[in-house]
Amino acid sequence: MFQNNPLLAQLKKNLHAQTPRVEGIVKSTERGFGFLEIDPQKSYFIPPKNMKKVMHGDKVIALLKIEKDREIVEPEKLIEPFLNRFVGKIEKKDDRLFIIPDYPFLKDLIICKPNKNCTNIFQSGDWAVAKLIKHKLKGDNFFYAELIEKIVQKDHPLTPWWVTLSRHNLDKNEPLVEKKDLLIKENYPRKDLTDLDFITIDNVNTKDIDDALFIKDLSNGELCLTVAIADPTAYIKHGSKLDIVASKRGFTNYLPGFNIPMLPRILSEDICSLNPNERRPVLACQITILKDGNISKKIHFFLAWIKSKSKLSYENVSDWLEKSGTWKPKKKSIEEQILLLYRLCLLRIKWREKNAVLFKDSLEYRFHLSDAGKVIDVFIEKRRIAHKIIEEAMIISNMSAASFLSSNIGFGIYNVHTGFDLINAENVVAFLKNYNLNFTVQEITTLRGFCNLRRVLNILSNNYIDSRIRRFQSFGDFSIVPGPHFALGFAEYATWTSPIRKYSDMINHRLLKAIINNEKPIKPSEDIKLKISEQRRRNRMSERDVSDWLYTILLQKKQYRNNKFKAEIIDISRSGLRARLVENGANVFIPGTFLHPIREQLIFNQDIGKVFVKGVVQYQVSDLIEVTLYDIRLETRSIIAKPEH
């Protein structure tokens, strides 16, 4: 009687329309159920039966229901799948292919087969790039993927690198080069500076040397610094094939063990590189530094030829200045150059201490790998005095370039940092009051006020306060027009000193040359700025991912079992602590169950970076704690640690 009843159908439709719906991101668990995260504070339970239609990370609209007096959700509509193009590991069963996506919460096999353009043969354990074609929430009966290409075969020693680069869709090889790309395309007049004692200071194994320095004492307490920068734009015309390739890559991608260059190695490591005793074309800048450390307004950019007289290393120069080790400069003139650069460095550090922002010395970690790509160890590298000498010279150069571009054409590729937005500035002021540090929003949103805040924090030297303030800061960005860089403490900043490695610096080279040669400069587009920003983000993620992979391989070795490590807490999550091992830089996770046995007595406050047990602060960001390694999961590249109570 009720079959095909239009009134009943309308009633069902009305009830369905009245059912509340929520939108969020699916978060799965190892126990089959999941949660729909609406925002960081609100989530709804997804029962195991409803999880079968979705994957971790899917953005969905779901029906909100009451089941057994509990709010649950049933995914109804897919807004955006988590998987689209992805990488994964192949499993072969009865001549059928399956792929397991390489993501921590995706463990189910997905049916797959090569698409029509893929001619690779796949075996179990191989890695591949795939594309999700069918999704259950779209009405399909099963998840299904097409294989696009094979990345690497099972157990290949370079798997961490090739899989990571494929995941982020980054190049694996250097660009191709044609003979015509190796010839200078310009005939601008260049000043001959080949007789001057230019020197380079880099890591021992650096091949792409892009900066050389010459300094002169003007005898009135002032110093004249000439910075010579390798000139790849002399070989690469704007809009040429190689220029387009460089613009797409954006940067040389530095990964543990090796790099993938932005330019062909024959250019970046030979023809353009400022190798010792080789005549090279450069873009140069002459800058006078006054007695008080200020930079003179007379900045002179010009084209030149130079011949570096000595390739020096950070280690040797630092040892010599610190009066340790056996190395010493081969010539008196090189010795004089080092001492004058040292004097300049100290002068500028003193100036920046009063007028800008000083960097905190931080540890850097470098993997020691065998020729076959096996992880042997991790070295700690500290910023020594020779690093600071080059750093100060490059900062002077980039400040000068920004000023030169602004006063002549008013545009370029500028590095900008806006400090705090209004809401975060209010949060900072409120937070600092707890420590009797009184600032106003108006004060810390100005460049001078921000610099003053950073100087106060440096003097205070409280790592917890410092970490909280950094959390409120905005991210650095690129801008076509001049703007301040709060984190450095400068009114404007534009890099041009690494054109072999950074496309943004190549753009600035062309603009500087246009000014020098009275030509019409081509204004960079917002599009190129966004492309460079995105490429920088992907490169950084690839470096982090390879590092995480190598750490899990390294720490599985016997000598690290049962070891106690000092670890610095770097973040508080919803369910535990994230920490960094001081000895080697590995990131570890400490679950809440290891901190206190009764979950209800634990509160993880991400906003203030503290963990409370029974209402008392037990841990906070920046604390140093002792941990042992509990579990190392190679498949998810995660290291679980346990605190030593």
Q: Please give the Cα distance from 610 to 532 (Å, whole number).
A: 36
1 confidence band (pLDDT: 50, 70, 90): very low
- Catalytic status, residue 421: no
Which residues of the chain are in CATH 2.40.50.140 domains? Answer: 18-80, 557-643
Instruction: Name the percent of the chain lying above pLDDT 70.
Output: 97
The one-letter amino acid code at 42 reads K
* pLDDT score of 333: 96
- Residue 602: the pLDDT is 93
Pairwise CA distance, residues 500 & 522, whole Å = 20
- Is 348 strand, coil or helix? helix
Q: Which of 58, 126, 197, 210 is catalytic?
A: 210
DSSP 24-81: EEEEE-TTS-EEEEEETTEEEEE-HHHHTT--TT-EEEEEEEEETTEEEEEEEEEEE-
The CA distance from 629 to 645, in Å, is: 14
- The predicted structure's pLDDT at residue 599: 87
Q: Is 210 a catalytic residue?
A: yes
The encoded tokens of residue 470 equal: 């950094």
With a cut of 90, say whether residue 644 has pLDDT above it: no
Quick one: how far is CA 239 from the chain centroid? Answer: 28
Q: What rounded mean pLDDT belongs to the chain?
A: 93
Predicted confidence (pLDDT) per residue in 91-124, tens digit = 999 889 999 999 888 888 999 999 999 888 999 9
Q: Active-site residue 211, yes or no? A: yes
Q: What is the pLDDT of residues 528-583, one digit of tens each?
A: 999 999 999 999 999 999 999 999 999 998 888 888 999 999 999 988 999 999 99
- Eight-state DSSP code of residue 622: T
What distance in Å separates the CA atoms of residue 477 and residue 491, rounded to the nearest whole number? 14
User: DSSP readout, 539-594?
Assistant: HHHHHHHHHHHHHHHHTTSGGGTT-EEEEEEEEE-SSEEEEEETTT--EEEEEGGG
- The pLDDT of residue 358: 85
- φ, ψ at 198 (rounded to 5°): -70, 140
The CATH code for residues 18-80 is 2.40.50.140
Angstrom CA distances, 366 to 202, 261, 450, 544, 643, stand at: 15, 19, 33, 12, 26
pLDDT band (50, 70, 90) for residue 10: low
Torsion 326-329-331-335 (CA) sign:
negative
Question: For residues 536 and 532, what is the distance between their CA atoms, to the nearest angstrom?
Answer: 6
Query: Which element (helix H / strand E) includes 328?
Result: none
Q: Does domain 85-156 have CATH number 3.30.365.10?
A: no
Cα Rg of the chain (Å, integer): 29
Q: Catalytic residue, from 126, 181, 243, 314: name it.
A: 314
CA dihedral 74, 77, 82, 85 (to 10 degrees): 140
pLDDT band at 414; cut points 50, 70, 90 = very high
Rounded to an integer, what distance in angstroms lies between the CA atom of residue 210 and that of residue 283?
A: 10
Average pLDDT rounded to a whole number, residues 610-635: 94
> Nearest-CA neighbor of 550 among 366, 363, 364?
366
CB-based contact 26:103 (threshold 8 Å): no
As a whole number of angstroms, the distance between CA 577 and CA 624 comes to 12
Cα angle 382-538-587, degrees, rounded to a multiple of 5: 45
Contact in structure between 599 and 593 (CB atoms under 8 Å): yes
Give every CB contact of residue 311 below 8 A, 6+ residues apart in sequence.
Answer: 199, 200, 202, 209, 275, 276
Confidence band (pLDDT; 50, 70, 90) for 5? Answer: low
- Identify the architecture of domain 557-643 in CATH: Beta Barrel (2.40)
- 398: pLDDT strictly greater than 90: yes
Measured in degrees and rounded to the nearest 5, phi and psi for residue 536 equal -60, -45
What tens digit of pLDDT does each residue of 153-181 get? Answer: 998 999 999 999 999 999 999 999 988 88
Q: What is the DSSP letter of 268?
A: I
Q: Among the options 58, 126, 197, 208, which is catalytic?
A: 208
φ and ψ of 399, to 5 deg: -65, -40
> Known catalytic residue: 231?
no
Residue in 58, 102, 181, 211 annotated catalytic: 211
| Distances from the Cα of 370 to the Cα of 256, 367, 597, angstroms | 12, 10, 43
> Known catalytic residue: 292?
no
The SS3 of residue 175 is: coil
Q: Token digits for 271? A: 């023809």
First CA to last CA distance, the chain: 71
Which DSSP state fits 267? Answer: I
Rounded Cα gap, residues 59 and 65, in angstroms: 18
pLDDT digits (tens, 9 = 90+) for 284-327: 999 999 999 999 998 999 999 999 999 999 999 999 999 998 99
Which of 501, 510, 538, 637 is an active site residue?
501
Domain(s) of CATH 2.40.50.640: residues in the chain? 85-156
Q: Distance (Å, rounded) from C-alpha 628 to C-alpha 644?
A: 7
Task: Provide the whole-model pTM.
Answer: 0.91
